[in-house]
Structure 1
Amino acid sequence: MGSLDLPHASSFKGGSETFLRNVLESILKTYLKKNPTANTIWEMVQSLDNEKICYDHFTFRTFKVDGYGINSLSSFFMDYGYKVGGDLDFPKKKSRVLWFSPPDVDVPNDGQGLGNGPLPRIVIAEVLVEELSLESQEIIKKYLKPEGGKQAVLSSTLGSLIWEKPTWTDFKQLAEENEFAAWTLMHGYTMNHLAFAVHRFKHSFSDIKCIKQYLEEKGFKLNTDGGILKVSEDGLLLQISTFSERLPVEFADGVTETIPASYIEFTQRLVLPQFKDVPCHEIKEFHRRDAFEVNSADNIMESTRFTAPV
């Protein structure tokens, strides 16, 4: 069979759509394996009334230094048709974010998950290393080797650090100035969190307020920064997230400490006002609120804060 006969082949200059989906599936499996609470919630969502799982976005953290920044991951996804959707700045966290919209692919009516469902947005943050103190810059650059960022996607799929595991002394010193940077030094390119697309759920989980109530009843700790339910200024983007669970980690100098891992999010995108008369069964993703809200995103980032939630 020639390449012209393959579905969507022209959209993916880096390879096939199947390969892209397999990479995303590997990243997901690594994330779930490393984060027991997130895995529990993922399995719960999957089992409840045979919910149709689809993802709104996958998020990663990087360092803006020596080829390890946003581009180290985004170049792979852009090879597969992803396009820059927008950017967000977080001056207090000394970081910025670019998010990428997925390529257009044919999704069957029963398409779900990463096998044949809608592709997630990709969100990549980077710590603006040059804005940190010289001491923190030296700690980070001590671990990052030239050209290492080229292995970003492989690192995400394996859940393995490209650089050497940091010492507790270095990690603690970095965390005192910037927790965002310290988290990235310890976890690297492992997915920071996934977000379910609530608007694609059916039945019991199709309303984010019902999800919030359900998770609270089950005893999961939800991020309270900015309120448990984060609502955009236009009221069309609704988000909730768990706090990252804290897991024991052995550092390079033999010290074992409990630090934040990853978390999980639920995102609901409501229909834009100009499409309010479109019949429900005809609503597509482009009819809904796109992009992200800086204030909500800033609060959600606190899901990995180092002080344990009460």
Structure 2
Amino acid sequence: MTEAKTNNIKPLLEAMWQNYLELTPDARKIHALFANQNDGLVINDHIALRTYNLDKVNLEKVARPFLEAGYIAGGDYDFPGRKLVAKHFQHPDDTLPKVFISELLVEALSENAQKTIHNLVEQVSDQAAMQDNFCFSGRPWDVSLRTYDELLQESEYAAWVAAFGYRPNHFTVSINHLQSHDDIHVLNQMLQNHNFVLNESGGLVKGSPEVLLEQSSTMAGKVSIRFSDGEREIPGCFYEFAKRYPMSDGKLYQGFVAASADKIFESTDTQ
């Protein structure tokens, strides 16, 4: 790993943030709210990315620019009910956000859905998938509303990736780095007082001090997406909030809790 590669990751992370804001107007407002209360400093705990487990675009391909910049694998997670697996990556420089990448196990879907997703991924050029900006390059395929609806019947995740392609699914405010709030319950109440809609699946707060991580999130606001045969407003991206607790060695827990993340995935549900 070269120092230049490490330095290159910061412009990539900033470009990802700007790309994410295009689909997440609530995030800009919430970020401004916290920045105003914290001398302009709002630290990002992690970024989440979604993909399919097909060779051309799989988790390892999406992770490549982060690994080349010095990130290391930090944990593996399994979501059998959603037919997903995930890994998180972290950097020795703990001011850089962790990256949580999940991938859909395409072979676990129906034959029709498998064929649909293979047809989408076949439209991605090998060269495109090898670019450092692939993780925020948007949708690299044509997709119809009918195809979106068919995938939605089987997997909300599959449909979301089909509609949005490659871009951050969410960013996350690190509560540990806020001066204004150290209690996630108080933070959630403040957001609700400002009329932001939060994900209530499994309770407003997912996790607990006992599992060393508490999380909450907004519900993804709807954005207008153009398909090959029309437009529709569908849930885009959301903003998450995370508080980490110290392990027995005194260091903050850096991993994720699958049972909590499972509920966070519902932040982009269409219902």
- Correspondence list, 1:1-310, <5 A: 12-13=1-2, 15-104=4-93, 118-145=95-122, 147=126, 150-151=129-130, 153-157=132-136, 159-164=137-142, 166-202=143-179, 204-232=180-208, 234-253=210-229, 255-275=230-250, 287-307=251-271
Q: Distance in 1 between matches of 2:38 and 2:148?
A: 43
Is the Cα–Cα contact under 8 Å of residues 246 and 259 in structure 1 kept in the other structure? Answer: yes
After TM superposition, the score normalised by the length of structure 2 is: 0.93
Change (3 A) 1:300 1:87: same
Question: 1:50 aligns to what SS in structure 2?
Answer: coil
Question: 2:259 aligns to what SS in structure 1?
Answer: helix
Query: Which residue of structure 2 lines up, in the alignment, with residue 279 of structure 1?
Result: none
RMSD: 1.8
The C-alpha deviation readout for 1:84-118, integer Å capped at 9, x for no partner, is 1111111111111010111337xxxxxxxxxxxx0
Is the Cα–Cα contact under 8 Å of residues 72 and 152 in structure 1 kept in the other structure? Answer: no
Amino acid at match of 2:54: V
Question: 2:4 aligns to what SS in structure 1?
Answer: coil
> Following TM superposition, by how much is the alpha carbon of 1:243 offset from its aligned partner in structure 2, in angstroms?
0.6
> Following TM superposition, by how much is the alpha carbon of 1:142 offset from its aligned partner in structure 2, in angstroms?
1.2
> Where in structure 1 are there 5+ consecutive unaligned residues?
1-11, 106-117, 276-286
Is the Cα–Cα contact under 8 Å of residues 32 and 38 in structure 1 kept in the other structure? Answer: yes
Amino acid at match of 1:272: M
> Where in structure 2 are there 5+ consecutive unaligned residues?
none
The total of aligned residue pairs comes to 269
Structure with higher Rg: it is 1
Amino acid at match of 2:202: G
Question: 1:234 aligns to what SS in structure 2?
Answer: helix
Question: 2:76 aligns to what SS in structure 1?
Answer: strand
Question: 1:74 aligns to what SS in structure 2?
Answer: helix
Q: Which deviates the most, 297-306 or 38-47?
A: 38-47
